[in-house]
Amino acid sequence: QDCGAFVQMSGVLKRIAVKLSKSCNDLRLLSSGPRAGLGEINLPPVQAGSSIMPGKVNPVIPEVVNQVAFEVIGNDVTITMAAEAGQLQLNAFEPIILHSLSESITHLRAACLTLAERCVSGITANTEALRASVENSIGLVTALNPHIGYTAATDIAKEALATGRGVAELVLEKGLLPAETLTALLRPEV
């Protein structure tokens, strides 16, 4: 018996699981820290912090969604193998197909709701870390290039990299632009 519809449905669920897991990996990376990671976003605390690092918020909701995704991917393999194992017009493995498909749907639905309600709805931006990252970015010279020239922009970038100082600080120190102009050019809205 052809179980192609089950295989196709499982494939769609697997695709959703892969994308959801990838998004959770991004959340885990963007929230990593508090000092050594990116720390660009804050995930809501769901349980007591790390057992080895007091004060750290573990990304437990994205991690549980990752695990559900792994399960859905595994169920897809089970469904694929069970569908392939049929002979002529008979497939004795439909029970495991339906069990795995039901499990994937149920767990994926619960994972999506949990992620939305207990994680995504409480995400905040770590504005201090983001501001520091922008202020220390060598990429700022790109916005200044048309105003200070390529050579000066290159020199500023090299010095900022070598010294660890900020681009804006060096531009002001060297008198390449007035403070008001520099502030206007580096506004995020521009």
Task: Tell me whether residue 168 is in a domain.
Answer: yes
Query: Which residue range forms the structural domain that includes residue 173?
Result: 137-185
pLDDT in tens, 135-181: 889 999 999 999 999 999 999 999 999 999 999 999 999 999 999 99
In angstroms, the Cα distances linking 133 to 40, 45, 58, 126 are 9, 24, 23, 11
- Split into its structural domains, the chain has a count of 2
Looking at the fold, whether 84 and 161 belong to one and the same domain comes out as no
Residues with catalytic roles: 50
Averaged pLDDT for residues 13-27: 98
Q: Which domain-ending residue is among 85, 102, 128?
A: 128
CATH number, domain of 104, equals 1.20.200.10
Record the tokens describing residue 151, joined without a space. 């050579």
Looking at the fold, whether 124 and 95 belong to one and the same domain comes out as yes
Packing angle, helices 94-118 and 4-30, rounded to 10: 30
Task: Tell me whether residue 190 is in a domain.
Answer: no
Task: Tell me whether residue 122 is in a domain.
Answer: yes
